[in-house]
Structure 1
Amino acid sequence: METDSDKKHVWDKVNQWEEELLFLKSIIDKTELVETIKWGGPIYVYNKKNVIGIGGFKNYFAIWFLNGVFLKDEKKRLINAQEDKTKSMRQWRFTSKEEVNEKEVLEYILEAIEIEKQGKIIKPSKKEAIISELLNIEMEQNPALKEAFENFKPYKQYEFLEYIESAKQEKTKLARIEKVIPMILANVGLNDKYR
Protein backbone atom coordinates (compact mmCIF):
# COMPACT_ATOMS: atom_id res chain seq x y z
CA MET A 1 0.00 0.00 0.00
CA GLU A 2 1.85 3.09 -1.09
CA THR A 3 1.20 6.24 0.84
CA ASP A 4 1.07 9.70 -0.64
CA SER A 5 4.56 10.43 0.53
CA ASP A 6 5.89 7.54 -1.51
CA LYS A 7 4.34 8.93 -4.62
CA LYS A 8 5.98 12.32 -4.23
CA HIS A 9 4.23 15.23 -5.79
CA VAL A 10 2.79 14.74 -9.19
CA TRP A 11 4.69 17.82 -10.28
CA ASP A 12 7.88 16.89 -8.66
CA LYS A 13 8.20 14.02 -11.06
CA VAL A 14 11.90 14.38 -10.67
CA ASN A 15 13.03 15.31 -7.28
CA GLN A 16 16.22 16.93 -8.37
CA TRP A 17 15.07 20.49 -7.76
CA GLU A 18 14.67 20.36 -4.01
CA GLU A 19 17.13 23.15 -3.31
CA GLU A 20 15.91 25.31 -6.19
CA LEU A 21 12.29 25.00 -5.14
CA LEU A 22 13.21 25.86 -1.55
CA PHE A 23 14.94 28.95 -2.91
CA LEU A 24 11.79 29.93 -4.81
CA LYS A 25 9.80 29.35 -1.63
CA SER A 26 12.11 31.63 0.32
CA ILE A 27 11.38 34.39 -2.22
CA ILE A 28 7.64 33.76 -2.09
CA ASP A 29 7.80 33.89 1.71
CA LYS A 30 8.61 37.58 1.43
CA THR A 31 5.14 38.21 0.04
CA GLU A 32 1.73 37.97 1.63
CA LEU A 33 0.90 34.75 -0.19
CA VAL A 34 -0.08 31.72 1.84
CA GLU A 35 1.16 28.28 0.89
CA THR A 36 -1.36 25.50 0.40
CA ILE A 37 -1.06 22.16 -1.30
CA LYS A 38 -3.39 21.60 -4.22
CA TRP A 39 -3.17 19.19 -7.09
CA GLY A 40 -0.19 17.60 -5.44
CA GLY A 41 2.04 20.65 -5.37
CA PRO A 42 2.51 23.92 -3.51
CA ILE A 43 0.09 26.62 -4.57
CA TYR A 44 0.24 30.09 -3.10
CA VAL A 45 -2.99 31.87 -2.45
CA TYR A 46 -4.04 35.39 -1.68
CA ASN A 47 -7.41 35.72 -0.08
CA LYS A 48 -8.21 32.11 -0.99
CA LYS A 49 -7.46 32.80 -4.66
CA ASN A 50 -4.73 30.77 -6.34
CA VAL A 51 -1.98 33.12 -7.49
CA ILE A 52 1.11 31.03 -8.20
CA GLY A 53 2.34 27.48 -8.01
CA ILE A 54 5.81 25.98 -8.15
CA GLY A 55 7.02 22.61 -9.24
CA GLY A 56 9.88 20.60 -10.69
CA PHE A 57 9.90 18.73 -13.96
CA LYS A 58 12.43 16.65 -15.76
CA ASN A 59 14.27 19.44 -17.53
CA TYR A 60 13.26 22.48 -15.54
CA PHE A 61 11.55 23.81 -12.48
CA ALA A 62 8.94 26.49 -12.79
CA ILE A 63 6.65 29.05 -11.27
CA TRP A 64 3.12 29.06 -12.54
CA PHE A 65 1.25 32.31 -12.60
CA LEU A 66 -2.31 31.14 -12.57
CA ASN A 67 -3.52 34.44 -13.92
CA GLY A 68 -0.31 35.13 -15.77
CA VAL A 69 -2.02 36.42 -18.87
CA PHE A 70 -2.43 39.79 -17.13
CA LEU A 71 1.21 40.20 -16.22
CA LYS A 72 3.00 42.83 -18.26
CA ASP A 73 5.91 40.43 -18.70
CA GLU A 74 8.20 43.16 -19.99
CA LYS A 75 11.19 40.86 -19.67
CA LYS A 76 9.46 38.17 -21.74
CA ARG A 77 9.97 35.45 -19.18
CA LEU A 78 6.60 33.76 -19.35
CA ILE A 79 5.43 31.01 -21.61
CA ASN A 80 2.06 29.49 -22.22
CA ALA A 81 2.79 25.83 -21.74
CA GLN A 82 -0.32 24.66 -23.54
CA GLU A 83 -1.34 27.23 -26.10
CA ASP A 84 -4.60 25.61 -26.96
CA LYS A 85 -5.68 24.73 -23.43
CA THR A 86 -4.72 27.46 -21.03
CA LYS A 87 -5.96 30.97 -21.50
CA SER A 88 -4.73 32.57 -18.33
CA MET A 89 -1.96 30.44 -16.89
CA ARG A 90 1.64 31.26 -17.68
CA GLN A 91 4.85 29.55 -16.68
CA TRP A 92 8.31 30.83 -15.92
CA ARG A 93 10.85 28.06 -16.31
CA PHE A 94 14.33 27.82 -14.89
CA THR A 95 17.03 25.24 -15.40
CA SER A 96 19.32 26.34 -12.59
CA LYS A 97 19.22 28.25 -9.35
CA GLU A 98 21.53 30.86 -10.90
CA GLU A 99 18.81 31.71 -13.37
CA VAL A 100 16.51 32.80 -10.60
CA ASN A 101 16.86 36.53 -10.24
CA GLU A 102 15.24 37.15 -6.89
CA LYS A 103 14.41 40.80 -7.51
CA GLU A 104 12.83 40.00 -10.85
CA VAL A 105 10.87 37.02 -9.57
CA LEU A 106 9.60 39.11 -6.68
CA GLU A 107 8.46 41.86 -9.05
CA TYR A 108 6.45 39.37 -11.07
CA ILE A 109 4.91 37.80 -7.98
CA LEU A 110 3.97 41.18 -6.50
CA GLU A 111 2.39 42.13 -9.78
CA ALA A 112 0.46 38.85 -9.76
CA ILE A 113 -0.82 39.62 -6.25
CA GLU A 114 -1.82 43.09 -7.36
CA ILE A 115 -3.78 41.61 -10.26
CA GLU A 116 -5.55 39.33 -7.81
CA LYS A 117 -6.39 42.30 -5.59
CA GLN A 118 -7.94 44.07 -8.53
CA GLY A 119 -9.93 40.94 -9.17
CA LYS A 120 -8.94 40.70 -12.80
CA ILE A 121 -10.00 37.48 -14.39
CA ILE A 122 -10.30 36.46 -17.95
CA LYS A 123 -13.89 36.92 -18.88
CA PRO A 124 -14.18 33.75 -20.84
CA SER A 125 -15.01 34.68 -24.39
CA LYS A 126 -17.08 31.60 -24.19
CA LYS A 127 -17.02 29.81 -20.89
CA GLU A 128 -14.71 26.85 -21.00
CA ALA A 129 -17.01 24.07 -22.05
CA ILE A 130 -17.68 21.62 -19.27
CA ILE A 131 -18.38 18.09 -20.31
CA SER A 132 -20.21 15.71 -18.08
CA GLU A 133 -19.55 12.20 -19.30
CA LEU A 134 -22.11 10.87 -16.85
CA LEU A 135 -24.85 13.21 -17.98
CA ASN A 136 -24.03 12.40 -21.60
CA ILE A 137 -24.58 8.72 -20.87
CA GLU A 138 -27.94 9.52 -19.30
CA MET A 139 -28.94 11.61 -22.31
CA GLU A 140 -27.95 8.89 -24.74
CA GLN A 141 -30.26 6.53 -22.92
CA ASN A 142 -33.02 9.08 -22.62
CA PRO A 143 -33.69 11.11 -25.79
CA ALA A 144 -36.36 13.19 -24.02
CA LEU A 145 -33.77 14.31 -21.50
CA LYS A 146 -31.31 15.21 -24.25
CA GLU A 147 -33.93 17.22 -26.06
CA ALA A 148 -35.03 19.00 -22.89
CA PHE A 149 -31.40 19.78 -22.01
CA GLU A 150 -30.72 21.18 -25.45
CA ASN A 151 -33.71 23.49 -25.12
CA PHE A 152 -31.99 25.36 -22.30
CA LYS A 153 -30.00 28.47 -23.06
CA PRO A 154 -26.25 27.78 -23.03
CA TYR A 155 -25.71 29.51 -19.69
CA LYS A 156 -28.34 27.32 -18.06
CA GLN A 157 -26.80 24.20 -19.58
CA TYR A 158 -23.51 25.42 -18.17
CA GLU A 159 -24.99 25.83 -14.69
CA PHE A 160 -26.20 22.23 -14.71
CA LEU A 161 -22.87 20.92 -15.99
CA GLU A 162 -20.89 22.98 -13.50
CA TYR A 163 -23.13 21.77 -10.67
CA ILE A 164 -22.60 18.14 -11.64
CA GLU A 165 -18.92 18.32 -12.46
CA SER A 166 -17.90 20.41 -9.47
CA ALA A 167 -18.56 17.34 -7.33
CA LYS A 168 -15.32 15.55 -6.49
CA GLN A 169 -16.65 12.04 -6.27
CA GLU A 170 -18.41 10.01 -8.88
CA LYS A 171 -21.20 9.06 -6.49
CA THR A 172 -21.86 12.72 -5.68
CA LYS A 173 -21.97 13.47 -9.40
CA LEU A 174 -24.47 10.69 -9.90
CA ALA A 175 -26.58 11.94 -6.99
CA ARG A 176 -26.56 15.42 -8.50
CA ILE A 177 -27.57 14.06 -11.88
CA GLU A 178 -30.48 12.23 -10.24
CA LYS A 179 -31.48 15.51 -8.68
CA VAL A 180 -31.35 17.59 -11.87
CA ILE A 181 -32.96 15.13 -14.31
CA PRO A 182 -36.52 15.96 -13.13
CA MET A 183 -35.66 19.67 -13.32
CA ILE A 184 -34.34 19.35 -16.84
CA LEU A 185 -37.38 17.39 -17.95
CA ALA A 186 -39.63 19.98 -16.33
CA ASN A 187 -37.68 22.71 -18.11
CA VAL A 188 -36.66 24.27 -14.79
CA GLY A 189 -33.21 25.84 -14.71
CA LEU A 190 -30.91 25.04 -11.83
CA ASN A 191 -31.08 28.50 -10.35
CA ASP A 192 -34.53 29.51 -11.53
CA LYS A 193 -35.97 29.47 -8.07
CA TYR A 194 -33.43 32.06 -6.97
CA ARG A 195 -33.91 34.33 -9.92
Structure 2
Amino acid sequence: MNPKVETFFEDLKHWRPELSKLREIILGCNLNEEFKWMHPCYTFQNANVVLIHGFKEYCAIMFFKGALLKDDENILIQQTENVQSGRQIRFTSLQQIIEKQDILMSYIFEAVEVEKAGLKVKLKKTEDFKISKELETKFNDNPDLKKAFEALSPGRQKAYLLYFSSAKQSATRESRIENYEKRILNGKGLNDCVCGLSKKFPSCDGSHKNLK
Protein backbone atom coordinates (compact mmCIF):
# COMPACT_ATOMS: atom_id res chain seq x y z
CA MET A 1 0.00 0.00 0.00
CA ASN A 2 1.51 3.25 -1.19
CA PRO A 3 1.77 6.10 1.38
CA LYS A 4 0.84 8.69 -1.26
CA VAL A 5 -2.34 6.72 -1.96
CA GLU A 6 -3.04 6.64 1.76
CA THR A 7 -2.90 10.45 1.77
CA PHE A 8 -5.14 10.53 -1.30
CA PHE A 9 -7.82 8.57 0.54
CA GLU A 10 -7.47 10.63 3.70
CA ASP A 11 -8.20 13.77 1.68
CA LEU A 12 -11.11 12.30 -0.28
CA LYS A 13 -14.40 14.15 0.11
CA HIS A 14 -16.45 12.15 -2.38
CA TRP A 15 -16.72 8.45 -3.25
CA ARG A 16 -14.45 7.33 -0.40
CA PRO A 17 -16.34 4.05 0.38
CA GLU A 18 -16.61 3.22 -3.32
CA LEU A 19 -12.98 3.96 -4.21
CA SER A 20 -11.79 2.18 -1.07
CA LYS A 21 -13.65 -0.94 -2.17
CA LEU A 22 -12.20 -0.71 -5.66
CA ARG A 23 -8.76 -0.39 -4.12
CA GLU A 24 -9.36 -3.49 -2.02
CA ILE A 25 -10.44 -5.48 -5.06
CA ILE A 26 -7.48 -4.39 -7.18
CA LEU A 27 -4.94 -5.06 -4.42
CA GLY A 28 -6.50 -8.52 -4.13
CA CYS A 29 -5.30 -9.11 -7.68
CA ASN A 30 -1.66 -8.65 -6.57
CA LEU A 31 -0.94 -5.49 -8.53
CA ASN A 32 1.59 -2.93 -7.39
CA GLU A 33 0.07 0.27 -6.02
CA GLU A 34 1.51 3.57 -7.26
CA PHE A 35 0.37 7.19 -7.38
CA LYS A 36 0.30 8.71 -10.86
CA TRP A 37 -1.59 11.60 -12.41
CA MET A 38 -2.80 12.48 -8.90
CA HIS A 39 -4.69 9.16 -8.62
CA PRO A 40 -4.06 5.60 -7.41
CA CYS A 41 -2.60 3.62 -10.27
CA TYR A 42 -1.96 -0.12 -10.30
CA THR A 43 0.82 -1.73 -12.29
CA PHE A 44 2.18 -5.12 -13.30
CA GLN A 45 5.93 -5.29 -13.91
CA ASN A 46 6.01 -1.48 -14.26
CA ALA A 47 3.23 -1.48 -16.86
CA ASN A 48 0.12 0.58 -16.06
CA VAL A 49 -2.90 -1.71 -15.82
CA VAL A 50 -5.74 0.12 -14.08
CA LEU A 51 -6.41 3.46 -12.40
CA ILE A 52 -9.21 4.49 -10.04
CA HIS A 53 -10.78 7.93 -10.07
CA GLY A 54 -13.91 9.80 -9.14
CA PHE A 55 -16.04 12.31 -11.02
CA LYS A 56 -19.06 14.36 -10.06
CA GLU A 57 -21.63 11.88 -11.33
CA TYR A 58 -19.74 8.59 -10.92
CA CYS A 59 -16.54 6.89 -9.86
CA ALA A 60 -14.67 4.44 -12.07
CA ILE A 61 -11.77 2.18 -12.76
CA MET A 62 -9.97 2.81 -16.02
CA PHE A 63 -8.10 0.09 -17.88
CA PHE A 64 -5.18 1.54 -19.81
CA LYS A 65 -5.54 -1.10 -22.54
CA GLY A 66 -9.26 -1.64 -22.12
CA ALA A 67 -9.76 -1.67 -25.88
CA LEU A 68 -8.04 -5.06 -25.93
CA LEU A 69 -10.30 -6.67 -23.33
CA LYS A 70 -13.06 -9.04 -24.49
CA ASP A 71 -15.73 -7.28 -22.40
CA ASP A 72 -18.09 -10.26 -22.20
CA GLU A 73 -20.29 -8.32 -19.77
CA ASN A 74 -20.52 -5.28 -22.07
CA ILE A 75 -19.61 -2.88 -19.24
CA LEU A 76 -16.55 -1.09 -20.65
CA ILE A 77 -17.10 2.53 -21.60
CA GLN A 78 -15.12 4.61 -24.08
CA GLN A 79 -15.09 8.08 -22.51
CA THR A 80 -15.08 9.91 -25.84
CA GLU A 81 -14.78 8.83 -29.45
CA ASN A 82 -11.19 10.07 -29.49
CA VAL A 83 -10.03 7.80 -26.65
CA GLN A 84 -8.22 4.99 -28.41
CA SER A 85 -6.95 2.67 -25.69
CA GLY A 86 -8.47 3.32 -22.26
CA ARG A 87 -11.86 2.03 -21.14
CA GLN A 88 -13.83 2.69 -17.95
CA ILE A 89 -16.18 0.72 -15.75
CA ARG A 90 -18.40 3.22 -13.94
CA PHE A 91 -20.24 3.04 -10.63
CA THR A 92 -22.66 5.22 -8.73
CA SER A 93 -22.89 3.21 -5.51
CA LEU A 94 -20.91 0.87 -3.27
CA GLN A 95 -23.51 -1.86 -3.79
CA GLN A 96 -22.87 -1.87 -7.54
CA ILE A 97 -19.18 -2.51 -6.90
CA ILE A 98 -19.86 -5.30 -4.41
CA GLU A 99 -22.23 -7.00 -6.85
CA LYS A 100 -19.65 -6.86 -9.65
CA GLN A 101 -16.61 -7.78 -7.55
CA ASP A 102 -15.99 -11.16 -9.19
CA ILE A 103 -16.50 -9.67 -12.65
CA LEU A 104 -14.10 -6.84 -11.89
CA MET A 105 -11.44 -9.28 -10.75
CA SER A 106 -11.83 -11.30 -13.95
CA TYR A 107 -11.38 -8.14 -16.03
CA ILE A 108 -8.30 -7.16 -14.01
CA PHE A 109 -6.75 -10.61 -14.43
CA GLU A 110 -7.46 -10.42 -18.17
CA ALA A 111 -5.76 -7.01 -18.30
CA VAL A 112 -2.71 -8.54 -16.59
CA GLU A 113 -2.65 -11.31 -19.21
CA VAL A 114 -2.67 -8.62 -21.89
CA GLU A 115 0.51 -7.21 -20.35
CA LYS A 116 2.10 -10.65 -20.00
CA ALA A 117 1.47 -11.25 -23.70
CA GLY A 118 2.99 -7.89 -24.60
CA LEU A 119 -0.11 -6.83 -26.54
CA LYS A 120 -0.39 -3.22 -27.68
CA VAL A 121 -3.28 -1.11 -28.89
CA LYS A 122 -2.86 -0.08 -32.51
CA LEU A 123 -3.05 3.70 -32.27
CA LYS A 124 -3.94 6.07 -35.06
CA LYS A 125 -1.09 7.88 -36.74
CA THR A 126 -1.09 11.67 -36.87
CA GLU A 127 -2.15 11.60 -40.53
CA ASP A 128 -5.22 9.56 -39.57
CA PHE A 129 -6.65 12.45 -37.57
CA LYS A 130 -8.90 14.91 -39.33
CA ILE A 131 -7.64 18.46 -39.82
CA SER A 132 -10.54 20.87 -39.43
CA LYS A 133 -11.28 23.21 -42.30
CA GLU A 134 -10.64 26.15 -39.94
CA LEU A 135 -7.10 24.91 -39.27
CA GLU A 136 -6.54 24.28 -42.98
CA THR A 137 -7.56 27.88 -43.66
CA LYS A 138 -5.13 29.11 -41.01
CA PHE A 139 -2.33 27.06 -42.54
CA ASN A 140 -3.07 28.55 -45.98
CA ASP A 141 -3.11 32.08 -44.59
CA ASN A 142 0.01 31.58 -42.46
CA PRO A 143 2.60 29.14 -43.88
CA ASP A 144 4.82 29.75 -40.82
CA LEU A 145 2.08 28.34 -38.61
CA LYS A 146 1.85 25.21 -40.74
CA LYS A 147 5.63 24.79 -40.66
CA ALA A 148 5.71 25.22 -36.88
CA PHE A 149 2.87 22.73 -36.45
CA GLU A 150 4.59 20.12 -38.61
CA ALA A 151 7.75 20.56 -36.52
CA LEU A 152 5.90 19.51 -33.35
CA SER A 153 6.15 15.94 -32.08
CA PRO A 154 3.39 13.57 -33.29
CA GLY A 155 1.87 13.50 -29.79
CA ARG A 156 1.63 17.28 -29.64
CA GLN A 157 0.11 17.42 -33.12
CA LYS A 158 -2.54 14.84 -32.15
CA ALA A 159 -3.44 16.76 -29.00
CA TYR A 160 -4.04 19.94 -30.99
CA LEU A 161 -5.99 18.20 -33.74
CA LEU A 162 -8.27 16.52 -31.21
CA TYR A 163 -8.77 19.70 -29.21
CA PHE A 164 -9.54 21.87 -32.23
CA SER A 165 -11.85 19.37 -33.95
CA SER A 166 -13.78 18.46 -30.78
CA ALA A 167 -15.57 21.83 -30.77
CA LYS A 168 -19.01 21.52 -32.36
CA GLN A 169 -19.26 25.12 -33.61
CA SER A 170 -17.01 26.54 -36.33
CA ALA A 171 -16.64 29.79 -34.37
CA THR A 172 -15.37 27.86 -31.36
CA ARG A 173 -12.87 25.95 -33.48
CA GLU A 174 -11.59 29.23 -34.92
CA SER A 175 -11.30 30.75 -31.44
CA ARG A 176 -9.34 27.79 -30.13
CA ILE A 177 -6.91 27.93 -33.03
CA GLU A 178 -6.36 31.66 -32.56
CA ASN A 179 -5.80 31.22 -28.82
CA TYR A 180 -3.10 28.61 -29.39
CA GLU A 181 -1.50 30.04 -32.52
CA LYS A 182 1.33 31.74 -30.61
CA ARG A 183 1.95 28.59 -28.59
CA ILE A 184 2.34 26.53 -31.77
CA LEU A 185 4.67 29.11 -33.29
CA ASN A 186 6.80 28.85 -30.15
CA GLY A 187 7.03 25.08 -30.48
CA LYS A 188 4.85 24.37 -27.44
CA GLY A 189 2.31 21.59 -27.07
CA LEU A 190 -1.24 21.95 -25.81
CA ASN A 191 -0.25 20.88 -22.29
CA ASP A 192 3.23 22.41 -22.12
CA CYS A 193 4.21 24.97 -19.50
CA VAL A 194 6.70 27.73 -20.15
CA CYS A 195 9.18 25.68 -18.11
CA GLY A 196 9.32 23.28 -21.05
CA LEU A 197 7.60 20.40 -19.26
CA SER A 198 4.09 19.14 -19.71
CA LYS A 199 1.56 20.15 -17.09
CA LYS A 200 0.93 16.42 -16.76
CA PHE A 201 4.62 15.69 -16.13
CA PRO A 202 5.38 14.86 -12.46
CA SER A 203 8.34 17.28 -12.26
CA CYS A 204 6.17 20.25 -13.17
CA ASP A 205 3.82 21.52 -10.49
CA GLY A 206 1.69 23.39 -13.02
CA SER A 207 2.12 26.69 -11.19
CA HIS A 208 3.60 28.44 -14.21
CA LYS A 209 1.44 30.63 -16.39
CA ASN A 210 0.78 28.92 -19.67
CA LEU A 211 2.25 30.49 -22.75
CA LYS A 212 -0.51 31.97 -24.87
1:129-174: CA deviation from partner (whole Å, max 9, x where unpaired): 7xxxxxxxxxxx995xx49x96x9xxx964998xx86x9764346x
Per the alignment, do residues 111 and 160 of structure 1 end up closer, same or farther by CA in structure 2, a change over 3 Å counting?
A: closer
Partner SS for 2:15: helix
Q: Any conservation in 2 of the 1:44–1:52 contact (CA below 8 Å)? A: yes
Q: Counterpart in 1 of 2:54?
A: 56
Distance 1:107 1:50 in 2: 17
Q: Counterpart in 2 of 1:189?
A: none
| 1:33-48 pair list within 5 angstroms | 33-48=31-46
Partner SS for 1:171: coil
Q: Counterpart in 1 of 2:109?
A: 110
Confirm whether residue 171 of structure 1 aligns to residue 191 of structure 2: no
Q: Name the amino acid aligned to 1:122.
A: V
Q: Name the amino acid aligned to 2:110.
A: E
| 1:120-131 pair list within 5 angstroms | 120-127=119-126
Distance 1:160 1:15 in 2: 34
Q: CA deviation at 1:53?
A: 0.5
1:71-117: CA deviation from partner (whole Å, max 9, x where unpaired): 1001001110111x210110100111111121111000110111111
Structure 2, unmatched stretches of 5+, are 130-141, 158-187, 198-212
Structure 1, unmatched stretches of 5+, are 130-140, 174-195
Q: Any conservation in 2 of the 1:15–1:56 contact (CA below 8 Å)? A: no
Sequence identity percentage: 35
TM-score, scaled to structure 1: 0.61
Of 16, 21, 24, the match for 1:26: 24
Q: Any conservation in 2 of the 1:44–1:50 contact (CA below 8 Å)? A: yes
Give the greater-gyration-radius structure (CA): 1
Confirm whether residue 95 of structure 1 aligns to residue 71 of structure 2: no
- Please provide the CA RMSD for this pair: 3.7
Distance 1:159 1:103 in 2: 37
Give 4+ residue runs of structure 1 displaced > 6 Å after superposition: none
Equivalent pairs counted in the alignment come to 147
TM-score, scaled to structure 2: 0.57
Distance 1:169 1:59 in 2: 30
Q: Any conservation in 2 of the 1:43–1:54 contact (CA below 8 Å)? A: yes
